Chain A
């Protein structure tokens, strides 16, 4: 059983398109995150949700819109994709402040 699963694993799309990445966790965690990893491997937090409520929004362009239909799912929708959006996007979840985060396998987004 995969604890945190993301789909798709790879996504190639043209500039200007709209795309979504889905994330599901079966760990019963209350908190979920989206991270962006750039070409230099730097990991930056984008959003955090706790029990379907937005907690953290790290000055991400409003073309990025997270949606949490329930606490086990946190999807990321991206409008009007730009070349600079090309990166690996990771979903993660955690049970609480002093516990580790569990990461999905990542979605490699390539905008051409």
Chain B
């Protein structure tokens, strides 16, 4: 069965610092992987996705993630954090039954 583990429920960085949000998955089939962002009192917005092809995927707002099959990881990074990046981030894997399984989420705080 597929599952997603996000290491660190809270991450705090300084404005301008590197953002690294960790995601590990388990999947019995080639995974489709997603990162979503949720701003307060809003729905989920897609940041980026990996389906097939290039393992380094670029998303919106300067975020990118690298699919590493050997490490079963799909960590999200951004070179320089901005105050507006403060939000909840969710990693997700799609199962063979077309079900989207989410990690527990990581709250990113950005301080001046």
Question: Chain A: residues with CB nearer than 8 A to chain B?
Answer: 4, 31, 33, 40-45, 48, 50, 55-56, 90, 92, 94, 96-98, 100-106
A94 touching B43, Cβ below 8 Å: no
Given contacts A94-B98, A97-B98, contact A41 B34 (CB under 8 A): no
Size range of the chain B interface in the assembly:
20 to 34
Which 3 residue pairs of A and B lie closest in terms of their CB atoms, listed nearest first? Answer: A103-B43, A43-B102, A103-B44
Q: Considering residues B49, B102, B107, which has the most beta carbons from chain A within 10 angstroms of its beta carbon?
A: B102
Residues of A within 8 A of B97 (CB): 55-56
Offer 18 A-B interface pairs, CB within 8 angstroms, sorted by A.
A33-B100, A41-B105, A42-B104, A42-B105, A45-B100, A48-B99, A55-B97, A94-B100, A98-B51, A98-B52, A100-B34, A100-B46, A101-B46, A101-B100, A102-B46, A103-B44, A105-B42, A106-B41
* Residue ID in chain B nearest A50 by CB atoms: B98
Give the contacts of B90-112 with A (CB-CB under 8 A): 90, 94, 96-102, 104-105, 107
* Chain A, interface SS category: strand
Residues of B within 8 A of A42 (CB): 102, 104-105
Given contacts A43-B90, A97-B32, A98-B32, contact A31 B44 (CB under 8 A): no
Residues of B within 8 A of A4 (CB): 43
Distance, CA A97 to CA B31, complexed state (A):
10
